[in-house]
């Protein structure tokens, strides 16, 4: 308001007052302050000036000088404004009943309010207080909706995986137990040095986050796959288990595990087949999912994005996609073995175990990889 009273000249002339009393914001307060300075001794006057932000030693920190400056300022504002301010100050019922409050009370009220502000955190059944926030706690707060959505998608994936080919839905207990096991697994698998692009495929399969028809990125229309089969039970089930390149990857895995019945939970939820070490299986399953993804991309380029290749694939195209997937699987295992010594978290490696063993110098090697098969 003070700034608006007389434009730039006003600002310049009365700059010492504005800068010296930064909390003096209204003409009414200025009139009131003049009265205070006139009524009280210099000590009380200095205290009143302090409430408006006067610093000791400043030009306007002394009551007499401040009064002169305030009167000079008031003489520069339009008469009607000054009259209105004086009328307001004269009729003011008292500090607590009137508005605005003096700065020290405003500051107290702000401190009181700030001390009580916070965010209710449903998950933790607690309140994050404004005065206690950190970058970490605020980030966690922002992530709550995303975490909730991810948890729902994980739960849907668990149900999808447990539904099996017979389409018998799991019981709530079965689904809850599998989800708990998956969560535990997600934390532990993160400690293994699996390449990021293979880890990403696994994460996206869990979220159903591929741009294939029926995925969460696309909607509606689900046409038969180029392998010739309908995408029965959804695109995730087809491309990451049933489609020809995916089935080829399963066969490749079964060469190491003859007689084992593999299902979607073994790959999607990293459930370890009986008799195998967890760590090795996590490497195998993530390599297999990535290989299935490679096979799908080879068979259905541009799938879900529009403008891709449609119609039944030729026998050559199908064979090429299956071969790409098989090579990607073998490459995945080899890439992990190439890190050398078994990392912590891989678990025990029996001398006659499948997939990965320890060789000369304790270094990892891939079991039974045909010569020249690595792409």
Given the rule CB under 5 A, which residues bind Zn ion?
225, 227, 243
Q: Residue 356 gets which letter from DSSP?
A: E
3-state secondary structure labels for all residues of 102-148: CHHHHHHHHHHHHHHCEEEECCCCEEEEHHHCCHHHHHHHHCHHHHH
CB of 233 to Zn ion, least distance (A): 12
SS3 state at 165: coil
CB of 313 to Zn ion, least distance (A): 9
* CA–CA dist 278, 271 (Å, integer): 8
Spatial neighbors of 167 by CB under 8 A, at least 6 apart, are: 233
Provide the token pair at 182.
Answer: 């998956």
> Residue 269: which of 179, 169, 173, 150 has the closest Cα?
179
Between vectors from CA 366 to CA 279 and to CA 188, what angle results, nearest 5°? 15
CB of 241 to Zn ion, least distance (A): 10
276 versus 313: smaller Cβ distance to Zn ion: 313
161 versus 321: smaller Cβ distance to Zn ion: 321
300 versus 333: smaller Cβ distance to Zn ion: 300
Provide the token pair at 126.
Answer: 């607690």
CB of 349 to Zn ion, least distance (A): 35
Per the CB < 8 A criterion, the answer to whether 236 and 215 are in contact is: yes
CB of 156 to Zn ion, least distance (A): 22
* CA–CA dist 208, 221 (Å, integer): 16
276 versus 321: smaller Cβ distance to Zn ion: 321
243 versus 276: smaller Cβ distance to Zn ion: 243
CB of 286 to Zn ion, least distance (A): 21
145 versus 311: smaller Cβ distance to Zn ion: 311
């Amino acid at each position: 308001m003070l700034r608006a009273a007389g434009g730039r000249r006003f600002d310049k002339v009365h700059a010492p007052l504005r800068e010296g009393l930064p909390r003096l914001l209204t003409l009414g307060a200025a009139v009131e302050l003049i009265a205070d300075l006139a009524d009280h001794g210099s000590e009380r006057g200095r205290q009143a000036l302090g409430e408006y932000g006067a610093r000791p030693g400043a030009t306007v920190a002394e009551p007499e000088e401040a009064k002169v400056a305030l009167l000079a300022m008031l003489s520069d504002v339009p008469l009607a404004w000054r009259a209105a301010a004086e009328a307001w100050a004269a009729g003011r019922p008292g500090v607590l009943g009137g508005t605005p409050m003096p700065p020290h009370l405003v500051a107290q009220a702000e401190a009181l309010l700030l001390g009580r502000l916070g965010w209710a955190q449903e998950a933790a059944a607690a309140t994050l207080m404004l005065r206690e926030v950190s970058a970490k706690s605020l980030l966690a707060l922002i992530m709550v909706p995303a975490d909730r959505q991810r948890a729902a998608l994980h739960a849907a994936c668990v149900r999808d995986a447990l539904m099996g080919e017979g389409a018998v839905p799991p019981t709530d207990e079965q689904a809850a137990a599998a989800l708990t096991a998956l969560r535990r697994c997600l934390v532990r698998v993160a400690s293994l040095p699996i390449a990021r692009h293979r880890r990403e495929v696994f994460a996206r399969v869990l979220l159903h986050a591929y741009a294939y028809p029926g995925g969460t990125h696309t909607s509606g229309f689900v046409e038969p796959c180029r392998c010739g089969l309908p995408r029965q039970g959804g695109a995730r089930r087809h491309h990451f288990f049933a489609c020809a390149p995916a089935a080829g990857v399963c066969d490749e895995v079964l060469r190491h595990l003859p007689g084992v019945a593999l299902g979607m939970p073994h790959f999607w939820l990293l459930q370890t087949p009986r008799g195998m070490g967890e760590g090795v299986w996590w490497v195998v399953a993530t390599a297999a999912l990535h290989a299935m993804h490679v096979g799908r991309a080879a068979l259905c380029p541009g799938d879900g994005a529009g403008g891709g290749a449609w119609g039944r694939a030729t026998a050559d195209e199908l064979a090429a996609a299956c071969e790409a997937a098989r090579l990607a699987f073998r490459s995945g295992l080899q890439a992990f073995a190439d890190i050398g010594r078994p990392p912590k978290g891989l678990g025990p490696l029996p001398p006659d175990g499948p997939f990965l063993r320890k060789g000369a110098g304790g270094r990892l090697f891939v079991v039974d990889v045909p010569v020249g098969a690595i792409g």
